[in-house]
Amino acid sequence: MVRGDGLYSGLIGDLKRYSYIKATIMEVCGTHTMAISRYGIRSLLPEGVRLISGPGCPVCVTEPGAISTAVQLAESGVTLVTFGDMMRVPSARGSLYQARAKGADVRIAYSPLDALNIAVNNKDISVCFFAVGFETTIPGISFTLKRAIEEGIDNFSMLTSLRTIPPAMEVIVKTGEAGVDGFIAPGHVSTIIGSEAYRDIAEKYGVPTVVSGFSAGDILTTVSMILDMIESNESEVRIQYEHVVKPEGNIKAMKMMYEYFNIYDIAWRGLGIIEKSGLKIKEEYSAIDALCRYDIEIEEEDEPEGCLCGDVLAGRAIPPDCSLFGGLCTPSKPVGPCMVSSEGSCAAYYKYGGDRVRYTI
Amino acid sequence: MCLAIPARVLEIDGDMALVDLNGVRVRANLAFVDGVKVGSWVLLHTGFAISVLTEEEAMETFDILNQVFGGEEK
């Protein structure tokens, strides 16, 4: 039960007036995935309104080949540092957690700067930071690169698998496979890139987009704002999460993002290669790029057998559609990343149920 | 993973600060935000402040995070 009984009854009542609308609304943010399941938002909406998850969990969309490469580096004697969420994601070479259990030096950092500090304080080891993330995380990663380069920390490198969200949303709209009628745009990615970044999605492709906060009230209001646009045949970008997100975003952070990275085409789990959706270290700084330093490549790798993670991330399936869900694949024994990550769609469905009524407001 | 948590600034030294993150003192980088003073609230993500909040916004954000990621509701 969400705190503040009855607080949202007005909002839920307002939503009833859209009961004649059939619409699929996609969120593209792991925290929204969790919040929607936790609050039981799906059960509060008119019957025709479906909420589905998209590629909003950075750990989940990281191509399995990049994880294999990270494991390979760790096994070769490099100290591999990454965010905690990445540790248990399986790849053809196993997970980083398994590599550590077998004796590799794999460490967890809260901040990329912590990874750099490991290198600064341990000159006798080679440290590689496995950097995954979206726009929220990339400016800090870029800042860390800047510091490493400026201070000449030559026992530090980065293996990057960094992505930007709007091109993935565009592909989802263009392929039409998920039948998305509206987007709940991510809150903290948008803090960096601003709501203007979704203008094409809304205006060129006609999909109403609202940047949302994370409370039950925020999400219900956002859904209502999207349905209102659908009803009146409008398509704009609007901000519900006004106190944190500005149309122009965080200009300083965006500038930092592109100082050390170039845009390139990168593979997303479930969505394939998306043009201009990735960021890689600029050629002039290739000495710090782990792929150059260790002369390795990220190879293409298949999904685990039977795993529907890719389809779930693309909005083509929901977790219960997967034959492994809840049986062979559970949070304690995950097959795919959507069950591993605390923000993964499968983990959220497993923990809180999907469309089942679990919480009342 | 894009989760960001409010933290209160305790000390500032150049573009680095010491902040109170839910009772824990951690270092935070302020390179991406303007006008931060001792006592300000910032939204912290992987050690970097990504925006500035009012105290009221910070408290509201804590409540939401507790609801979404806290223990099971009774």
A318/A223 same-domain check: no
- The 10s digit of each residue's pLDDT in A79-123 is 999 999 899 999 999 999 999 999 999 999 999 999 999 999 999
Integer CA distances (angstroms), A137 to A54, A256, A318, A329, B25, in order? 19, 11, 27, 29, 21
Report chain A residues whose CB lies below 8 A from the CB of B2: 29-31, 58, 133-134, 136-137, 186-189
- Closest CB from A39, A85, A188 relative to B50: A188
ipTM of the complex: 0.92
Q: Inspect the interface and report whether the beta carbons of A114 and B29 lie closer than 8 Å.
A: no
- Is A64 part of a structural domain of the chain? yes
- The 10s digit of each residue's pLDDT in A207-223 is 999 999 999 999 999 99
A153/A253 same-domain check: yes
- Is A8 part of a structural domain of the chain? no
- Is A7 part of a structural domain of the chain? no
Residue B24, chain A, CB below 8 Å: the answer is: no
For chain A, give the percent of residues with pLDDT over 70.
96
- Chain A nearest CA to B71, separation (Å): 11
Q: Which residues of A37-68 are buried (b: 16+ CB within 10 A; e: fewer)?
A: bbbbbbebbbeebbbbbbbbbbbbbbbbbbbb
A145/A36 same-domain check: no
- Chain A nearest CA to B46, separation (Å): 4
Per-residue confidence (pLDDT) for residue A6, from 0 to 100: 60
- DSSP letter, residue B65: H
Integer CA distances (angstroms), A169 to A209, A315, B8, in order? 11, 11, 34
Residue B33, chain A, CB below 8 Å: the answer is: yes
For the record, the structure tokens of A284 come out as 């002039």
A360 pLDDT more than 50: no
**Nearest residue of chain A to residue B63 (CA atoms):** A215
Backbone dihedral angles phi then psi of residue A165, each to the nearest 5 degrees:
-75, -45
- The 10s digit of each residue's pLDDT in A130-140 is 999 999 999 99
Per-residue confidence (pLDDT) for residue A354, from 0 to 100: 62
**Nearest residue of chain B to residue A33 (CA atoms):** B68
Residue B56, chain A, CB below 8 Å: the answer is: no
- Is A262 part of a structural domain of the chain? yes
A209/A133 same-domain check: no
- The 10s digit of each residue's pLDDT in A22-44 is 999 999 999 999 999 988 999 89
Q: What is the CA angle A281-A282-A285, rounded to 5? A: 85
Q: Inspect the interface and report whether the beta carbons of A136 and B57 lie closer than 8 Å.
A: no
Instruction: Answer whether A338's CB lies under 8 Å from A317's CB.
Output: no
Compute the half-sphere exposure of residue A127: CA atoms within 13 Å on the CB side of its CA: 26
Instruction: Answer whether B36's CB lies under 8 Å from B52's CB.
Output: yes
Among A1, A38, A43, smallest CA distance to A352 is for A38
Cα separation, A148 vs A281, in Å, equals: 13
Helix axes A138-150, A251-260, angle to 10 degrees: 60
Report chain B residues whose CB lies below 8 A from the CB of A134: 1-2
- Chain B nearest CA to A259, separation (Å): 14
Residue A208, chain B, CB below 8 Å: the answer is: no
For the record, the structure tokens of A337 come out as 């990343």
- Closest CB from A3, A29, A113 relative to B2: A29
Residue A62, chain B, CB below 8 Å: the answer is: no
Residue B5, chain A, CB below 8 Å: the answer is: no
A253/A157 same-domain check: yes
Backbone dihedral angles phi then psi of residue A243, each to the nearest 5 degrees:
-75, -15
For chain B, give the percent of residues with pLDDT over 70.
95
A95/A53 same-domain check: no
Report chain A residues whose CB lies below 8 A from the CB of B30: none
Interface test with B, best of A1, A36, A83, A111 (most B CBs within 10 A): A111
Q: Inspect the interface and report whether the beta carbons of A59 and B68 lie closer than 8 Å.
A: no
Measured distance between the N- and C-terminal CA atoms of chain A, rounded to whole angstroms: 6
Per-residue confidence (pLDDT) for residue A2, from 0 to 100: 43
- The 10s digit of each residue's pLDDT in A39-79 is 899 989 999 999 999 999 999 999 999 999 999 999 999 99
**Nearest residue of chain A to residue B64 (CA atoms):** A215
- Is A149 part of a structural domain of the chain? yes
* CATH top class, domain B5-69: mainly beta
Determine how β-strand A261-268 pairs with β-strand A156-163. Answer: unpaired
A131/A263 same-domain check: yes
**Arithmetic mean of pLDDT over chain A:** 93
Residue B50, chain A, CB below 8 Å: the answer is: yes
In the stretch 75-134 of chain A, residues with CB closer than 8 A to chain B read 83, 85, 110-114, 132-134
Residue B64, chain A, CB below 8 Å: the answer is: yes
Domain that holds residue A227: 24-58+175-239
Which sequence spans correspond to the domains of chain B?
Answer: 5-69
- The 10s digit of each residue's pLDDT in A123-174 is 999 999 999 999 999 999 999 999 999 999 999 999 999 999 999 999 999 9
A128/A212 same-domain check: no
Q: Inspect the interface and report whether the beta carbons of B32 and A134 lie closer than 8 Å.
A: no
Instruction: Answer whether A259's CB lies under 8 Å from A139's CB.
Output: no
Per-residue confidence (pLDDT) for residue B67, from 0 to 100: 82
How many domains does chain A divide into?
Answer: 3
Per-residue confidence (pLDDT) for residue A142, from 0 to 100: 98
A145/A186 same-domain check: no
How many other CB atoms sit within 10 Å of the CB of residue A356? 11
For chain A, give the percent of residues with pLDDT over 90.
86
- Closest CB from A59, A188, A341 relative to B45: A188
In the stretch 272-331 of chain A, residues with CB closer than 8 A to chain B read none
Tell me the DSSP string of A229-292.
HHHTT---EEES-TTT--TT--HHHHHHHHHHEEEEEEEETTTEEEEEEEEEE-GGGGGGBHHH
A54/A69 same-domain check: no
Report chain B residues whose CB lies below 8 A from the CB of A59: 1
Q: Inspect the interface and report whether the beta carbons of B2 and A114 lie closer than 8 Å.
A: no
Per-residue confidence (pLDDT) for residue A359, from 0 to 100: 38
A355 pLDDT more than 70: no
